[in-house]
Every structure is written in C-alpha cells, then in structure tokens.
Amino acid sequence: MASHIVGYPRMGPKRELKFALESFWDGKSSAEDLEKVATDLRASIWKQMADAGIKYIPSNTFSYYDQVLDTTAMLGAVPERYSWTGGEIGFSTYFSMARGNATVPAMEMTKWFDTNYHFIVPELGPNTKFSYSSHKAVNEYKEAKALGVDTVPVLIGPVSYLLLSKPAKGVEKSFSLLSLLSSILPVYKEAIAELKAAGATWIQFDEPTLVLDLDSHQLAAFSAAYTELESALSGLNVLVETYFADIPAESYKTLTSLNSVTAYGFDLIRGAKTLDLVKSAGFPSGKYLFAGVVDGRNIWADDLAASLSTLQSLEAIVGKDKLVVSTSCSLMHTAVDLINETKLDSEIKSWLAFAAQKVVEVNALAKALAGQKDEAYFAANAAAQASRKSSPRVTNEEVQKAAAALKGSDHRRATNVSARLDAQQKKLNLPVLPTTTIGSFPQTVELRRVRREYKAKKWITHSKFCCRISEEEYVSAIKEEISKVVKIQEELDIDVLVHGEPERNDMVEYFGEQLSGFAFTANGWVQSYGSRCVKPPIIYGDVSRPNPMTVFWSKTAQSMTSRPMKGMLTGPVTILNWSFVRNDQPRFETCYQIALAIKKEVEDLEAGGIQVIQIDEAALREGLPLRKAEHAFYLDWAVHSFRITNCGVQDTTQIHTHMCYSNFNDIIHSIINMDADVITIENSRSDEKLLSVFREGVVYGAGIGPGVYDIHSPRIPSTEEIADRINKMLAVLDTNILWVNPDCGLKTRKYTEVKPALTNMVSAAKLIRTQL
Ligand code: GLN
Ligand code: ZN
C-alpha cells in the first residue's frame, strides 16, 4: 500500500524563501544566495517525506514565484514586452514577468480556483511562439535523485494551462485558447522525453480544471491532448491529479477512458461525491486511484479511523495494490509545521496537523491499510478527535441554539431601502455625491511600532524587564492618530468620516482576537502570492462576543467631529472566508454564529450614537463555490448572514458595506439582496465591466460608490480624471444614489499620496455638484 503527496509548501517553516526572495529583489543578496536557500529547502522537504516513508514524493512543486509562471517559462511563452531573446529563462525575465520592472508592468495575477493563492495568468495569442525554455522540472528531478530520492515530477497539465490563460492584449476575445494545444504539446513532449531519460518512472499532471463545469469541446480537448501525448508517455506511469471539488460525471468518464493515463488523483475532502461516482460508475481495471483523504486546505488533524474506512471501501473496488493514499490537494494551502507553534494551547494543538504532520498521517494510513497499523499513533489520534468533540471550549449551547434558530428564517430590515435612505438623509443632511473613504488611513512605521509594543506587553505583563508601553500610553497614541485622521478629513472637506483603523493590524485578526472560538498561530503562514503570505486565524469553537470590540474607538472618533463618523466592522462572511474554518459543522453554521456576534456589535455602536456603520464584506465574492450548481446555496446563506448583522437597527441608521474584487456582475442580484443602504465597491481597474450591469437595466435603488481611483497604485489621479469617471457613472446611475470614494482602504499608501489624491477626489465631486 503506497502513499503520495500532491505538493508541498515552498516558503519554508519560518518563511525562509520569502526573506531570501525579498533580499534578492532589494539587491541585498546574490542569485547564488537565493539559490542556496531554495536548494536547502527542497532538500529538506524531500528528506522529510522520504524519512516519513512516502513512496510517491513530488518534485517541481517548488517555485520561486508561482507554478503557472514556471509552466509559462517552460513553454517559453514570454509576452513580447519583456524583450526576452530566447535561451534558458533566468531570474531577470522570470521576475520581470512576475513583478514588472522599471519599464514594464507585471503580468496579471488572479486567484487560483477558490483558494487564497494567486497565480500569474499566461497571456497567449495566435502569434505566441512556444519553445522549451526552462528545464526546471528535469533539473529538480535530477537534484532529488542525486540526494537519493526518486521523485514524481509534477507539471501543470496542458489543458488546465490553456484554460487558465487569457488572450493577450489586442487578441480578439473570441480567440480559442485551446487552439494552441497543438503548439504547446511538442514542448511538453520534449520535457517528458528529458524526464524519462533522467530516469523518471512516474509523472504527475495537475489538471484541476477538470472539476469545473466544462463543455464538451473542452472535454474533447482533454482526450485529444492525452491521446497526442500517448507515445511520448509510453513506459511512464501517468497520474492526472484533480482537486478542489467533485469531478463531474461526464469528466470522470472522459478522464477514466484515456489510454495514456494510468492513475487518477481525486480530492475526497471537497469532492465527497466523487466517492459515490467511483462506486457507481466503476473504475478502470489495472489503473491506480490516488485517494485524497487528508485535507490539504485546512489545519485539522485527520480523523484517521474515518479515512481508513473510506480507503477500505475503495480498496474493495480498485484492488489492494492499486490504491494510493494521498492528500486532497497540494499542501501549499495549509500551514507548514506545527512544531513551531510553541505558544499554542496544548489541547487545541492536539487537534491540529500542518503540512509536516499531514505527511505523517498519509503514511500512517497507507501502513494501516497494508496491515501495519501503528496502534499507538491511531489511538492518540482517536483521543484527540474525541477531546475535540467533547471539549467545552468548542461547544457553547447558547450560541448553538441561537444560530440554529436562524436557519430557514429570513432576516431583513422592516422598511424598504428608499424609505430608509429618506429617513437617514433627514438626519445626516449630506450633499449630493457625498464623499467618503473606505476605512483605513496610512499606517506609519511609528504607528505599527506602538501597536507592536503594546501587544508585546500583553504577552509579558509579568516580566520585570517589561519596558513596553502601558495601556494609557497606547490609548493616547491611538487617540492622537485618530484625531490627526479626523482633522485631515475635515480639512479635505470629506462628508462622512472614518477613524482610520489605527488600532487594527488586520481586518480579520482584530475581530478574531476579541471573539471567543478563535485561536492564533505564530508561524501558520500560507503563501498568497510570490513572497507574500497570510496567517489565517483558526476558528475552533462556537463564536461569541464577550465584550464590545470597536465601540470605544468609534465613540472617541465621533466625539472629535460634528460630521458623521462611520463605525467600521468586518462582516461575517469575510471573517469566515479568511480563516481556517471548523470542519465539524457546515460553514454556514459558523457564519451564522459570527453574524450574531457582529449583530451585537452593530447594536452597541448604534446605541453609542454612531449613525453610519460600515460592515465590510471584502471577501464575499471569493467564497463562491467552483461549481455553478452550488452558487445559489452559498449566496443564500452568505447574504442572509450579512443581513442578520443589521436587521435590528433603526431606519435612520445607515448601513454601508464594502466589497473588493471588481468582478461581481454575476452576483449583482445577491448584492442587491444584501439590502445595505450604501455599497462602496472596488471598480477602478475595470470601470466598464461594473457599469455595464446597470447599463443593461439592473435596477439599483440603494446608495452606491464605485471606487473613483485605484488605491493599489502610488499614482495620483487628477481632478479631471476623477470628474470624468464620475460623469461616466452618472450616465448609468441616479444622481441621488451615487457616492464618491476611493477603491479600497488607504492603509498601504503614504500620506504624500493620499492627501493629494483625496484633495482631487473632493474637488471633482464639488465640480460636478456645480454642474448638476
Ligand atoms: N475597511 C477596510 C480598510 O479600509 C477594508 C479593507 C478591504 O476591503 N480589504 O482597510
Ligand atoms: Zn476593499
């Protein structure tokens, strides 16, 4: 009985690769220094898997930036603007594509399926020339072999590569990317031939697009591609790996009938129905099934007994020697190693497994199937599962009951939005085209230091060497910052103010730290893109709000001005989507619990005299399931959760929400159904797209502020440019519902950028007011 790992985190247990990359980019270290760090990381990962007993160990899952970009490099599909002249692609061209350089912008980046990882989108057209230009896969295979580890080289499969690409600028949208299949397959053949020559006996093609809703033309491309590769692949065992959802029945049929493919990898965590499919539709005899039973996207220890029984039922279908125990997807979507979590509570820790621990789980399952069950290890796992089930820290009866009562019912404000807006306007008395910002203001080095030292003090209160800042000093520093931000906004003559969020490090962490049911890691980093990592909180128990979280700061800020001050909260769906979530209850149940906690906060803010409350749902769109059939259910509970937070406020309290990610045309009706009074939305990078919805006749009656400039860029937009944008919006939206605001929070910008940009934004709004 064999074991396999789909892929492994690259960053290292302490983000070694991140620091090496950034130091190289800053010119502080050499290419050799960077390569040394990378080589050491790869070696230690291979050794770790080999020591654990894993049979099929992946190679080429390491990347200096991104695995899709690595494939672009392999294919030599470098966009013209990088002036690459051929030959093996080195750091200079590679990182220019990833990050841009002094003269040319980077390639576009987008989310990898429904994960928080972002890949570099290939730009292809009818004139793209392909040539074998990066030998990374074979180099890594040889590198591992020299260390005594025979690996399975991993390539992004040709069909997924094309389906994830976009037509290059100037190429017609109707251009069929799949028509490039015959142009890229020769390069794949060269790479395969080299891998074979180097001694590889297995090869893994990641084809995750197979879990999407594909049409017959796309499926036909799969058959065509792997038929075309058949002779090149002969003599190799070929694994096609899928992940992130159930594989649809049609795709399963296509995939399992491919001659050249000898093994199939399925995600049995997110794709629980695939199991039934294998049972009902059958499995081709003589082929391997790589069963992804250990969750690659979460941090929970596997329920080994449950996995073992799943595996045993599969064994009966595919045969003992053809079943391979695996992870549900690459482990790059989970944290690296629990061993570095020295501060985590030991009971909670016993419930967790990060990548390093998951490798051990996979192997233990394989051994158990082979009749060599490690009884002590299984017993310890069962004890941890039992403790998690019965721990009073997990269950809060009251919260469970309140959340259960929400299901199936509807929660919305009693009065319709236009009547509410009238009632609010009587109190707020805002000009037409009111101006506002999204929440955060620049976070200076000094501010970050104050917050860090205050936090550090909380950890070591009893240390006699404690020289950190006191509670009073902290509060007064934050107050001073708020007062500065208030003054700036008054000087700019902004209509609805924000306090600037100086007390927050992160919009989810800030709330998670004050809610019960959340735990935080010291090193639980997950790669987001390039060298960037995020450290999601862990939701382990029923969520409740012991104390108000933002009321003190919002009231303080409101007391400094006579203009309306927005209370600023993160919404339940965003908190959920940016955390590691419990797997012992459905996501919507956890979301409802968070919604109830935020509802209390909303009501306390209202009682504290805050008349405008913004509940950010930056990540609502990202939680959308991959398969269309599941969209309605998700949107229903997500939107319901948002409404729960504010269904109890008075008509005169104005509820705002903010959403990032401009591509939301497909969910516009759900956004309307959120029933917020005002929505501010990221827009400036795709103006036309957003406005086209309204042009096409979607009726929108609530307030709306499509961002008038891009805060992701240091560029300062001119008054004319912003005015022009506002005019374009007025062409499709009613004057009395339009708001004027930037795209998103200003946290990552400098004051030297923010002040002139906001000055121009306010001038533009005033200019247009005079023209109405
Ligand atoms: N209120 C948050 C801020 O301004 C919103 C951030 C976001 O949408 N990502 O920073
Ligand atoms: Zn945003």
Classify 706 as helix, strand or coil: strand
- Report CA dihedral (77, 81, 87, 89) to the nearest 10 degrees: -70
**Ligand 1 centroid from CA 656, angstroms:** 13
DSSP secondary structure of 573-627: HHHHHTSB--SSS-HHHHHHHHHHHHHHHHHHHHHTT--EEEEE-TTTGGG--SS
What is the β-pairing status of strands 526-529 and 532-534?
Answer: antiparallel
Residue 533, H or E segment? strand 532-534
Q: Is the Cβ atom of 438 under 6 angstroms away from ligand 1?
A: yes
pLDDT digits (tens, 9 = 90+) for 88-118: 999 999 999 999 988 898 999 988 999 999 9
Whether the per-residue pLDDT at 174 is higher than 70: the answer is yes
List the one residue out of 25, 9, 156, 139 whose CA is nearest residue 91: 25
**Ligand 1 centroid from CA 586, angstroms:** 27
Ligand nearest to the CA of 578: 1
Q: Which residues contact 418 (CB under 8 A, 6 or more apart)?
A: 701
pTM of the model: 0.95
What is the Cα gyration radius of the chain? 27
Residue closest by Cα to atom 3 of ligand 1: 745
- Note the pLDDT of residue 432: 98
Residue 325, H or E segment? strand 323-327
pLDDT digits (tens, 9 = 90+) for 709-722: 988 888 899 999 99
pLDDT band of 697, cuts 50, 70, 90:
confident
Whether the per-residue pLDDT at 749 is higher than 80: the answer is yes
Q: Taking the CB of residue 23, how many other CB atoms lie within 10 A of it? A: 16
Question: Looking at ligand 1, which atom is closest to the CA of residue 507?
Answer: 2
Residue closest by Cα to atom 6 of ligand 1: 745
Q: Is the Cβ atom of 568 under 6 angstroms away from ligand 1?
A: yes
Question: Looking at ligand 1, which atom is closest to the CA of residue 440?
Answer: 4
Distance (Å, rounded) from C-alpha 429 to C-alpha 139?
67
Higher pLDDT pick, 128 / 685: 128
669 annotated as belonging to a binding site for a ligand: yes
421 CB burial (10 A radius; 0-12, 13-18, 19+): buried
pLDDT band of 757, cuts 50, 70, 90:
very high
- Kindly state the average pLDDT of the residues 639-651: 97
Residue closest by Cα to atom 4 of ligand 1: 745
Judge contact between 524 and 299, C-beta under 8 A: yes
Residue closest by Cα to atom 8 of ligand 1: 618
28 CB burial (10 A radius; 0-12, 13-18, 19+): exposed
Ligand 1 pocket test target in 507, 528, 682 with most atoms within 8 Å of CB: 507
Distance (Å, rounded) from C-alpha 509 to C-alpha 513?
6
501 annotated as belonging to a binding site for a ligand: yes
Distance (Å, rounded) from C-alpha 297 to C-alpha 117?
11
pLDDT digits (tens, 9 = 90+) for 398-420: 999 999 988 778 899 999 999 99
18 annotated as belonging to a binding site for a ligand: yes
Distance (Å, rounded) from C-alpha 277 to C-alpha 210?
15
715 annotated as belonging to a binding site for a ligand: no
Q: Is the Cβ atom of 499 under 6 angstroms away from ligand 1?
A: no
Q: Taking the CB of residue 167, how many other CB atoms lie within 10 A of it? A: 16
Q: Is the Cβ atom of 679 under 6 angstroms away from ligand 1?
A: no
282 annotated as belonging to a binding site for a ligand: no
440 annotated as belonging to a binding site for a ligand: yes
Measured in degrees and rounded to the nearest 5, phi and psi for residue 9 equal -60, 145
- Note the pLDDT of residue 577: 95
Provide the percentage of residues in the chain whose pLDDT is more than 90.
Answer: 89
Which residues is 571 bridged to in the sheet? Answer: none
Whether the per-residue pLDDT at 18 is higher than 80: the answer is yes
**Ligand 1 centroid from CA 490, angstroms:** 21
pLDDT digits (tens, 9 = 90+) for 220-275: 999 999 999 999 999 999 999 999 999 999 999 999 999 999 999 999 999 989 99
List the one residue out of 314, 278, 74, 85 whose CA is nearest residue 195: 74
Q: Is the Cβ atom of 747 under 6 angstroms away from ligand 1?
A: yes
Q: Taking the CB of residue 312, how many other CB atoms lie within 10 A of it? A: 12
Question: Looking at ligand 1, which atom is closest to the CA of residue 504?
Answer: 10
Q: Is the Cβ atom of 613 under 6 angstroms away from ligand 1?
A: no
Q: Taking the CB of residue 515, how many other CB atoms lie within 10 A of it? A: 22
pLDDT band of 688, cuts 50, 70, 90:
low
Whether the per-residue pLDDT at 465 is higher than 50: the answer is no
Ligand nearest to the CA of 439: 1
Question: Looking at ligand 1, which atom is closest to the CA of residue 614?
Answer: 1
Whether the per-residue pLDDT at 396 is higher than 60: the answer is yes
- Note the pLDDT of residue 458: 62
- Note the pLDDT of residue 490: 98
pLDDT band of 690, cuts 50, 70, 90:
confident
DSSP secondary structure of 444-488: -HHHHHHHHHHHHHHHTTT-TT--S--HHHHHHHHHHHHHHHHHH
Whether the per-residue pLDDT at 684 is higher than 80: the answer is no
Residue closest by Cα to atom 5 of ligand 1: 745
Q: Is the Cβ atom of 594 under 6 angstroms away from ligand 1?
A: no
- Note the pLDDT of residue 457: 65
**Ligand 1 centroid from CA 507, angstroms:** 7
Q: What are the structure tokens assigned to 552, written together? A: 């003190």
Whether the per-residue pLDDT at 459 is higher than 60: the answer is no
- Mean pLDDT, the chain, as a whole number? 95
44 annotated as belonging to a binding site for a ligand: no
**Ligand 1 centroid from CA 617, angstroms:** 9
Residue closest by Cα to atom 1 of ligand 1: 439
Q: Is the Cβ atom of 745 under 6 angstroms away from ligand 1?
A: yes
Distance (Å, rounded) from C-alpha 567 to C-alpha 643?
17
pLDDT digits (tens, 9 = 90+) for 376-393: 999 999 999 999 999 999
591 annotated as belonging to a binding site for a ligand: no
List the one residue out of 764, 763, 754 whose CA is nearest residue 730: 764
**Cα–Cα distances in angstroms (integers) from residue 291 to residues 1, 282, 605, in the given order:** 12, 15, 49
Ligand 1 pocket test target in 496, 505, 744 with most atoms within 8 Å of CB: 744
Which ipTM was obtained for this model? 0.99
Judge contact between 322 and 289, C-beta under 8 A: yes
Distance (Å, rounded) from C-alpha 577 to C-alpha 555?
29
Positions marked active-site: 712
- Note the pLDDT of residue 687: 57
Residue closest by Cα to atom 10 of ligand 1: 745
pLDDT digits (tens, 9 = 90+) for 317-337: 999 999 999 999 999 999 999
Q: Which residues of 705-722 are buried (b: 16+ CB within 10 A; e: fewer)?
A: bbbbbbbeeeebbebeeb
Residue closest by Cα to atom 9 of ligand 1: 618
Distance (Å, rounded) from C-alpha 183 to C-alpha 190?
12
Provide the percentage of residues in the chain whose pLDDT is more than 70.
Answer: 98
**Ligand 1 centroid from CA 741, angstroms:** 13
Question: Looking at ligand 1, which atom is closest to the CA of residue 437?
Answer: 4
